[in-house]
Amino acid sequence: MNRLNGKVAIITGGAGGIGKETAKLFVKEGASVAIFDVNKDGIDAALKEIAGNSKGYVVDVSDFEDVNKNVQSVIKDFGYVDVLINNAGITRDGFLTKMEIEDWNKVIAINLTGTFNCAKAVAPHMMERGKGNIINVSSVVGVYGNIGQTNYSATKAGVIGLTKTWAKEFAKKGIRVNAIAPGFIKTPMTEKVPEKVLQIMIDKTPMGRMGEPIEVANVLLFLASDESSFVTGHTLHIDGGVTL
């Protein structure tokens, strides 16, 4: 039996990387999937790979009105929303003294405010249904920090704070809220990292390699399924032991 039969999931940043891999797996496991992304061409290409009962929506997660409008469209198109995966994120790296204010604001707007916007738009619907599941994508750098990532680390630490707070706020409403903290995963984001830096990351990872997007998607599947029905407020590390 498929593990997500009958469930409807919104996956932000679903046109590539971890988001696309998760969408493919969720559809395979019986879910209907709505992809939120700013990249229309990316959405169209991803939908061809995902197949199944899936649909794409061009959404700027940093704009609450845009998010809310599209959440309502998903409810109209699919009937309801069971799962929200807050996966959309960007990097604009640089040392604090050299970081442009625009780069700080942009990363905050997408990674942190975007997570807030999507949850705020979906939560009333989930509360009305008396059930729901929100999963936020954080990062190991949100737990331990990282040189040159003041903005990114701050957002990912903030996402963990949101997760713990919402888990407490919504537990009695039937809504679970968890987070994942991936380590170094092979995605378009890490492809921009110089080879020498990537090797340093691999050397710091006890398992001696980078993770694959499917390995993150598999954990998201567990958290989205009823198998994790008594898990809330938790941040699950997917990092090959790098934080040991």
Active site residues: 152
Instruction: Report residue 196 as tokens.
Output: 């020498």
DSSP letter for each residue of 79-130: S---EEEE-------B-GGG--HHHHHHHIIIIIIHHHHHHHHHHHHHHHHT
* Spatial contact of 127 and 166, defined as CB atoms under 8 Å apart: no
Q: Which amino acid is at 225?
A: S
